[in-house]
């Protein structure tokens, strides 16, 4: 099989050991152009699945949107290139990769709002270890603006709540909606206050250049610092992929639906997503039926 992405065994070992790694220069000029065009398309043509996040004092703006590849031709073409899915499958060591979620995080120039520390898992309808984020940024992203992760937290064998012990450093235009309805499962333990006790955690930080891919395991605790001012935007597209043995999970509270919906009816709890390729589309290999 011919691979498009230049990934070494050392990269894969680092990912499996630490839970995160940066792949340097894996996006060629064509893919990088699709990424930037797609982020701008999504920013201009946002739909009902977006929210705006600002700093606690109301400054700065971060656009977060779910499934932008469904409305952006450029992001759809990037996904159709199979590169994100290939990267995901090779890092997981699985024969295929199926899409679980894709998002944009468009932080406009000016004050930059932090990203609160959290775990993606409780917001999702999947559970298991075959899960990886492929985070692509089309701007220079220094360590304080790039996603940071707690080293090894993918091995803690815990799913946290969607809520946290920490006071939120940001405000959302949908704050009332998020507070009025339970997101995910209420019985899960609260996310620890990583930001307030950074010396107690082994935090990995990354300087990322356009063309790099930041890869981290889907169960990792992660967040990002803010900044009083940045003279350029920080635009990122993050897709989350699962291997065929990743299991479906239906929480009591609200969670992100599968990207392909549930056209054949509710997916049974515990079913491998490999049985539901319409709901969780296969991104690699491209010819998998």
- How large is the average pLDDT for residues 172-192? 78
Q: Please tell me the distance from the alpha carbon of residue 59 to that of residue 91, in angstroms, as a whole number.
A: 38
| Cis geometry, peptide bond prior to residue 274 (ω within 30 degrees of 0) | no
Does 9 have pLDDT greater than 60? yes
Taken in order of first residue, the domains within the chain and their CATH numbers are: 9-279 (2.60.120.620)
- Residue 33 to residues 58, 68, 88, 170, 263, Cα–Cα distance (Å): 32, 16, 21, 31, 33
Helices in 219-261 by DSSP H: which ranges? none
- Expressed in angstroms, the distance from the first to the final Cα of the chain is 17
- 213-217 vs 20-23, strand pairing mode: antiparallel
pLDDT digits (tens, 9 = 90+) for 135-165: 999 999 999 999 999 999 999 999 999 999 9
pLDDT digits (tens, 9 = 90+) for 199-210: 999 999 999 999
Buried-exposed string 1-39: b where 16+ CB fall within 10 A, e elsewhere: eeeebebeeebbebbeebbbbbbeebbeeebeebbbbbb
Q: Please tell me the distance from the alpha carbon of residue 94 to that of residue 91, in angstroms, as a whole number.
A: 8
What was the pLDDT predicted at 175? 53
What was the pLDDT predicted at 269? 97
């Amino acid at each position: 099989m011919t691979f498009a992405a230049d990934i070494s065994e050392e990269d894969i070992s680092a990912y499996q050991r630490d839970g995160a790694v940066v792949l340097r220069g894996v996006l060629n000029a064509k893919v990088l152009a699709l990424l930037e065009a797609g982020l701008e398309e999504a920013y201009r043509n946002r739909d009902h699945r977006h929210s705006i996040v600002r700093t606690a004092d109301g400054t700065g703006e971060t656009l977060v949107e779910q499934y932008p590849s469904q409305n952006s031709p450029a992001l759809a073409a990037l996904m159709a290139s199979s590169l994100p899915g290939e990267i995901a499958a090779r890092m997981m060591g699985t024969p295929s990769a199926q899409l679980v979620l894709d998002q944009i995080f468009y932080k406009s120039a000016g004050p930059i709002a932090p990203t609160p520390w959290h775990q993606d898992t409780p917001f999702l309808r999947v559970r298991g270890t075959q899960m990886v984020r492929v985070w692509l940024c089309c701007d220079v992203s220094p360590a304080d603006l790039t996603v940071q992760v707690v080293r090894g937290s993918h091995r803690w064998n815990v799913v946290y709540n969607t809520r946290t012990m920490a006071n939120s450093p940001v405000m959302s235009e949908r704050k009332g909606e998020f507070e009025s309805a339970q997101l995910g499962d209420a019985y899960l333990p609260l996310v620890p206050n990583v930001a307030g006790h950074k010396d107690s955690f082994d935090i990995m930080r990354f300087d990322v250049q356009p063309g790099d891919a930041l890869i981290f395991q889907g169960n990792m605790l992660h967040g990002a610092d803010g900044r009083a001012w940045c003279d350029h935007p920080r635009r990122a597209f993050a897709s989350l992929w699962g291997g065929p043995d990743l299991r479906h999970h239906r929480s009591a509270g609200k969670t992100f639906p599968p990207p392909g919906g549930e056209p054949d009816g509710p997916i049974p709890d515990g079913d491998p997503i490999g049985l539901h390729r319409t709901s969780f589309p296969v991104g690699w290999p491209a010819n998998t039926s």
